[in-house]
Structure 1
Amino acid sequence: MNAPLGENPQELTGKNVVDAEGTKVGSVQQIYRDDATDRPEWITVRTGLFGMKETFVPLAGARRVGDECQVPYTKDQIKDAPRIDADGHLEPGEEERLYRHYGIARPGTAPSGTVPGRTTAAGAGMGTAGAAGAPGMRPPEERRRERTESRPLAGAGAGAMSRGRDTDARAKEQNPEMIISEEHVELGTEAHEAGRARLRKHVTTEEVHRTVPVSHDEAHLVREKISDEERRTGRTGQHKLGDGEVEVTLYEEQAVVRKESVPVERIRLETERVTEQQEVNTEVHREEVEFDDGKATGRRGRRNRGGPGPERGGMGPERGR
């Protein structure tokens, strides 16, 4: 590796992974170790729009940058890596596909395959790397023997396995192949704050006009003659000629205003969810293949998207995705 990852690479579990340009790719989920050397060789990175996909990334050339793990590959290259089940054993053929995709050579000391090395998905417990025979570990010979016993082959044995690998290598040299990738669109929704609704109240003043009946006393002069009967009987009393004065109290009503606050209406704020259709436009990229049959006519063909099979032009079978 270009830079050390520390004595315990399993501490990378759950750390963010960034590509060669510093762009976040995902987070480390599992660490795969070599069968024989017990050295960490691969990590799986959780990628995708909803984080449901785990992609294998080689640890060769990886280094720590702060709390992140930086790998010397681009984000697109990692996302386009071959899809391999991250819950089982990494077979030699699968490992070869990964090496070809990332354009790196298989280490000369690498055995035929790797197994998950005492690591699980993020958040699970992990053992500590150490010498064979330590608690929670098995010697490389025992792991290879267990793998061989659980996966018997025709003509089982080291020689038969070696011959099978040589045959596969010769077949690949005679029938070169390449992986064709394309982008798939994954659509989803995210909730974002679009605004805030508030309910306020404030006091306003308005003029009110009402008519109120009011009364008051008014004084006016009333003349009434005294009859002869009243004079004879003396009911008017004895009156002497002279000045005099009398007064009367006058009353009036005035309008009085009295105000009080009374509840008149209840108002509340409610929300409802409205669903509408929105058109989403994006661009996707895919790889196309052109081939030249090498003849003087220069006849060419293109990838047949209908599925794997021979291409017109005599090139032979091309594997689909």
Structure 2
Amino acid sequence: MITREQIPTVLDHPVYDSAGKKIGDARHVFFDEVSGQPEWVSVKTGLFGTSESFVPIHDATVVEDHLEVPYLKNKVKEAPNVDVDAGGHLSEQEERRLYEFYGVDWEAAWRQTQPDAKKAAGRPTDEAMTRSEEQMRVGTERRETGRARLRKYVVTEEQQRTVPVRHEEVRVEREPVTEANREEAMSGPEISEAEHEVTLHAERPVVETKAEPVERVRLTTDERVEEETVKGKVRKERIEADTDENDRRS
């Protein structure tokens, strides 16, 4: 349990759960009006600290500049919402709900302290009244709106190319016997049979394919900023003075 002297170290400082995770910041400390000991601490949770959860403080400890409570963060955030009256008191019914939620023996606590009401002691009070206002804070959250993917597949298309091809044909050449070629013409037998064979060649088109890299494709995202108007309701306290001065004048 923390002492009254440690309250300035607790208020507006972080509150951590039993696993070392930050729950939020301490907002108020509530005292038992019989024993005068701190009994509850309210913790600002949620986005921008818009929610407030109550946590028992009797088993809490102050470590350096923060408060550690023996409960998990999710447990604290799921604590029932309770109403604090204008004087900063917790009613018996509200306190019973909190005791039951945290598994604290209500009957034992009642016998020890007889808590008729708990008074908030966020800071030393004086004769002035504090007026508070709710402030609307607007933030953004990132959420998934869709997915895009690259998919590669193969298609086959017909292509046409023209390529020259060559082939050999037989052509018979005849030349008369002259003095220049007579010796070659007379080198064989006078009358005989003979054959001479020539091999013919022809070219034909040959198709060959080879994969070549031609392009690199990737997915990127571009961020666009648009203006959106959001509305919310905030509560403000007003302070008016009621006097009987007018009655005395009449």
TM-score (norm 1): 0.41
Distance 1:253 1:113, change over 3 A: closer
| Partner Cα distance (1:202, 1:189) in 2 | 39
1:51 maps to amino acid: G
Aligned residue among 88, 98, 107 for 1:98: 88
User: Structure 2 matches for 1:140-179, cutoff 5 A?
Assistant: none
Q: Unmatched 5+ residue regions in structure 1?
A: 1-7, 16-25, 60-64, 83-95, 117-146, 154-163, 165-179, 288-304, 317-321
Q: Unmatched 5+ residue regions in structure 2?
A: 3-14, 18-22, 58-70, 94-112
| Partner Cα distance (2:166, 2:234) in 1 | 95
User: Structure 2 matches for 1:44-59, cutoff 5 A?
Assistant: 44-47=42-45, 49-51=47-49
Contact kept? 2:91, 2:117, Cα under 8 Å: no
C-alpha deviation, 1:34, in angstroms: 3.5
Distance 1:48 1:230, change over 3 A: closer
Contact kept? 1:42, 1:57, Cα under 8 Å: yes
SS of residue paired to 1:45: strand
Alignment partner of 1:203 is 2:154: yes
Contact kept? 2:42, 2:55, Cα under 8 Å: yes
Aligned residue among 174, 184, 204 for 1:254: 204
Q: How many residues align?
A: 192
Higher relative contact order (CA 8 A, sep 6+): 2
| Partner Cα distance (2:150, 2:92) in 1 | 64
Cα deviation digits, residues 89-124 of structure 1 (max 9, x gap): xxxxxxx6122xx5569x9877996768xxxxxxxx
2:87 maps to amino acid: R
In structure 2, the residue matched to 1:218 is 169
Cα deviation digits, residues 74-98 of structure 1 (max 9, x gap): x4x64xx57xxxxxxxxxxxxx612
User: Structure 2 matches for 1:258-269, cutoff 5 A?
Assistant: 258-269=208-219
C-alpha deviation, 1:212, in angstroms: 1.4
Contact kept? 1:214, 1:255, Cα under 8 Å: yes
C-alpha deviation, 1:204, in angstroms: 3.1
| Partner Cα distance (1:216, 1:109) in 2 | 115
Distance 1:241 1:209, change over 3 A: same
C-alpha deviation, 1:40, in angstroms: 4.5
Contact kept? 1:230, 1:236, Cα under 8 Å: no
| Partner Cα distance (1:269, 1:187) in 2 | 32
| Partner Cα distance (2:230, 2:204) in 1 | 74
C-alpha deviation, 1:39, in angstroms: 4.5
Alignment partner of 1:68 is 2:75: yes
User: Structure 2 matches for 1:4-153, cutoff 5 A?
Assistant: 14=16, 29=26, 32-34=30-32, 37=35, 39-47=37-45, 49-51=47-49, 68=75, 75=81, 78=83, 81=84, 97-99=87-89
C-alpha deviation, 1:277, in angstroms: 2.0
In structure 2, the residue matched to 1:189 is 140
| Partner Cα distance (1:213, 1:42) in 2 | 97
SS of residue paired to 1:97: coil
C-alpha deviation, 1:242, in angstroms: 4.3
2:174 maps to amino acid: R
Distance 1:186 1:28, change over 3 A: closer
Q: RMSD across aligned C-alpha pairs, in angstroms?
A: 5.4
Contact kept? 2:91, 2:118, Cα under 8 Å: no
1:45 maps to amino acid: V
| Partner Cα distance (1:198, 1:109) in 2 | 63
| Partner Cα distance (1:272, 1:189) in 2 | 18
| Partner Cα distance (2:170, 2:145) in 1 | 76
| Partner Cα distance (1:281, 1:230) in 2 | 116
Contact kept? 2:165, 2:204, Cα under 8 Å: yes
Contact kept? 2:29, 2:38, Cα under 8 Å: yes
SS of residue paired to 2:177: coil
TM-score (norm 2): 0.50
